Structure 1
């Protein structure tokens, strides 16, 4: 490769990594935790009421009441099934003139679905795919995924001529630039296939609607978006007849869907959501969505006649067309839901490694551009160090603090689902402000210790407050709660080790560095920026 071409690829790789790096750090760190969404969900709600035997009977009455008071809901109304995880509450969803509405069995009336409060596990999942930014966040992450793919491509082209040599090179020592370069290269090369999967599937998941609308306008004369319904569901075209009819219950339809899925070849099928089209009409149909194991895409769908229950279409593992097989494969590959526990642990490790990849890329940028013969570093170096510490370590602290708040909220009479978002964003803002005030070298040590203490507190507080629940779950052979506590302890120890290593670098490292512990006499970063 010509030197000029190599320099161009290096520049593109550097700047695409910097542009997307902060968002991707949060997405990968939160995504690693979101792999164990159901386990976190079980841990986060220690006192879960047992599902009552008449839950779906009451849900059927709720649907009838909603349709009676909201005629627009007849066109389409859905309901979730009770499950073994506390956030899977029974709730109805329908579209009204003001947008999507939702109502749970405990609600006294309808409310906007966007205002529906999610628990800790759902919030961590939202951080992964929207960064907690409403509406625009998912599209932002789609753009970030495209930039991420470009960074991967240029990185591969840079290292392709000496791929094997870079894979075996990890040279610890006093040369920080070389150490960060080696660590960045080794992790990037080892996890490259998975990063390609994440970049491609992330862009498809986040930007599919925007892309479809663009093609619909440019080439399909408005016919593509309506057709997409048939491509991504099992519901055939339905039409209201104008004749009233009695609907089969969600319980009955779920049972019929399960039998149809098993007959079609699915290993199992557990209904989790269903929707009616033309509720109360003789032409009504219902689609039941459920999860299956031992398949690349865990979600499958069965559509049935809502009046007599006969099967209209089946889209489950072993009986999918090409569209549904592709769509389910995208989800399965991105979230690692296609495998057993070992696959999920692999995705967890890859998520943390991915976060480190972007963190180390920032550190490499800093080491490459710092002045080695003077203590006063350029503004761009200090700004990148401040942003890296504040955003990356600050987001880790914020997520750990959110787990702590979830444990403490019931003790003080609060509702965890109401405070997880304010606590996370509040702590994150404080971490960024602390970094600006303390400067990145000292702030990094402070925030790492704070994250270590917060992570250890997750487990210690849970054991102290909910110890009976923990003992009971272990005696019953359920390891989800203990697993979350164990990972929190391991993360606390890991962050503590990083704090010690960072403190050593501040004291013993090169003093001509932004990571040195001295205080320079010049203006602060905040004043420089101003």
Structure 2
């Protein structure tokens, strides 16, 4: 009797594991293209500021030996040059170790009849020494484009799609833990080099999945918080705050000042004195300043920055310009629990709580997850191709959509880097041209994947094309901007060379992987030939 009960329990357990395995594999294949995109774009934009400096700084090197122009002089010069809507706000993002430019954002006057809609925003890159507008921020769109791919896929409802993908990814992680629960520690580092190829791929998928589990769980949960927060916000506004959205924002720690202009002019010099005092504080890194009702007696300035003495502490101060009165502050002694929790999650998500070494570790882990996704797709394709009830057309479709899109994203990113470098800065539509090149490369690579039967050969070809494009990018860097890159290095702006080192490492790894794939292809060819000879002799 006890034996029958035990057998019954074992059968139930095996059935549950089998169902979880099927769910895990199907969910993995369905979300794999977008999940790969999210992790791949996220890995690159861990170095957002470095990529931005690589794109812009060689085009407009800063003469660091000059004295920095006063911020007030820069801002008021830009206000004189653009039709600024003084009913709106003005934001200035400060230069940093990675970015030697001011970024000035001006809400422009809206056309007649369009007053109820958000108007055009002028986003200016300004040389901090000369005060000259060197470009529009949108002209150098590579870093922003990849970052938007990461969090909203550059689609209108992309934020919600990424949130749903995060939800399914979380389920895939939990189901993977249950599937391998019994052998999670016993086979933790198992990688069978002496077995057939499927065993090696399965071990690679499992080992990467286990070793990155804390990292992936953190990303899945934080992705849910960021991308589906609007769902919770709507529910709170409707059911708890009775439709009062401002009350929700206030309780969540977001300060709102909805005051009207007095229409009495005011000298804004005291505002810049407050800003300079904040910038002189060695423990406070001012990131940006927002002006409300600029040049009016109702003017308020908002100063945001990082408190360097604490982990993930973002301070915020509001001042009345006319009197210098501190209206509101959010710091280590006066913070909101909701807002503080979100800041901690964001800091962990972006890996910006320590030096570049942590971001390099995050990058390696993110790329490992991309490899895990690609290997999982290959395992699924191998399994389904052995089943007689699965059509060859459906196999080709999944191969093109999953494996093709994964490889295509890598190549398309390299093409985007090349376009960002070689398209002249004087062309107004250069950002659009870069995006078109990215999309065309991705679509073409996916289309070719439908016509290539050998997955390893396809991946090797895509990697080879990527390596060639990156080599061309490095050559273009030094042929076009060698003296500027050397000058930037001497002035302490070394992110340009850092990005080039990253490209060189990717080229090296790419060549190594191509050689490995070529060896595997030759080994499989010899095995297939030997099998044919044996069959021939037996006949």
TM range (shorter): 0.7 to 0.9
- Specify the SS of the correspondent of 1:161: coil
1:306 corresponds to: 321
1:354-369 residue pairs with structure 2 within 5 A?
354-369=369-384
Query: What's the CA shift string for 1:317-340, capped at 9, x where partnerless?
Result: 565331221121121011011111
Residue 122 (str. 1) matches residue 144 (str. 2) = yes
Query: What is the TM-score with the length of structure 2 in the denominator?
Result: 0.82
Alignment of 1:59 onto 2:75 = yes
Do structure 1's residue 103 and structure 2's residue 122 form an aligned pair? yes
The residue number in structure 1 matching 2:130 is none
**Alignment correspondent of 1:144:** 165
The CA distance in 2 between the partners of 1:308 and 1:213, in whole Å, is: 38
1:349 to 364, 372, 383: 364
Alignment CA distance shift 1:332-1:93 (3 Å): farther
User: Is the Cα contact below 8 Å between 1:142 and 1:203 reproduced in 2?
Assistant: yes
Q: Tell me how far 1:148 sits from its aligned partner.
A: 1.0
- Change beyond 3 A, Cα 1:414–1:90: closer
SS at structure 1 position matched to 2:228:
helix
Aligned to 1:181: 202
Question: How many residues are treated as equivalent by the alignment?
Answer: 494
CA 1:496/1:258 → structure 2, altered by over 3 Å: closer, same or farther? same
Is 1:81 aligned to 2:93, yes or no? yes
TM-score by length of 1: 0.83
Tell me which of 442, 463, 468 is aligned to 2:483: 468
Q: 2:448 matched to which residue of 1? A: 434
Distance 2:364 2:333 in 1: 30
Task: Measure, in 1, the Cα distance between the counterparts of 2:100 and 2:448.
Answer: 36
Change (3 A) 1:125 1:385: same
Deviates more, 1:53-62 or 1:180-189: 53-62
- 1:89 and 1:69 map into 2 onto residues whose CA distance is 15
Superposition deviation, residue 403 in structure 1 = 0.7
Q: 1:485 aligns to what?
A: 500
- Which residue number corresponds to residue 45 of structure 2? 34
Q: Which residue of 2 aligns with 1:525?
A: none
Task: Give the 3-state SS of the residue equivalent to 2:207 in structure 1.
Answer: helix
CA distance in 2, matches of 1:244, 1:413: 42
Distance of aligned partners of 1:6 and 1:425 in 2 relative to their CA distance in 1, 3 Å threshold: same
String of CA shifts for 1:165-190, please: whole Å, max 9, x gaps.
Answer: 23121112452221111111111111
**Cα drift, residue 129 of structure 1:** 1.4
Partner Cα distance (1:326, 1:3) in 2: 40
- Name which of structure 1's ranges 400-409 and 1-10 shifts more when overlaid on structure 2: 1-10
Change (3 A) 1:140 1:164: same
2: distance between equivalents of 1:232 and 1:135?
27
Q: Taking structure 1 as reference, are residues 345 and 30 closer, same or farther at Cα in structure 2, changes over 3 Å only? A: same
Equivalent position of 2:423 in the other structure: 409
Aligned partner of 2:189 in structure 1 is: 168
1:256-289 superposed Cα distances (whole Å, 9 cap, x missing partner): 5557xx5xxx83222324141x555544433222
Is the CA contact 1:176–1:367 (under 8 Å) kept in the aligned structure 2? Answer: no
1:6 aligns with 2:17: yes
CA distance in 2, matches of 1:230, 1:83: 32
Q: Does 1:18 align with 2:29?
A: yes
Runs (5+) with no aligned partner, structure 1: 108-113, 514-530
Relative to structure 1, the CA distance from residue 273 to residue 397 in structure 2 (aligned partners, 3 Å threshold; closer, same or farther) is: farther
1-structure distance, mates of 2:489, 2:84: 47
Distance 1:207 1:138 in 2: 8
Matched, 1:44 2:55: yes
- Counterpart in the other structure of 2:532: none
- Indicate the larger mover: 78-87 or 396-405: 78-87
CA positional deviation for 1:229 = 5.1
For structure 2, the 5+ residue unaligned runs are 1-9, 127-135, 529-539
Matches of 1:216 and 1:26, distance apart in 2: 33
1:274 aligns with 2:286: no
Compare 240-249 and 342-351 and name the one that shifted more: 240-249
Residues 1:200 and 1:437: Cα distance change in structure 2 (over 3 Å): same
* Corresponding position of 2:301: 286
Residue 197 of structure 1 and its aligned partner are, at CA, apart by 1.0
Is the contact between residue 247 and residue 279 of structure 1 (CA under 8 Å) also seen in structure 2? Answer: no
CA–CA separation in structure 1 for the residues paired with 2:84 and 2:360: 47
The structure 2 residue matched to 1:90, chosen from 96, 104, 112, is: 104
The aligned residue for residue 516 of structure 1 is: none
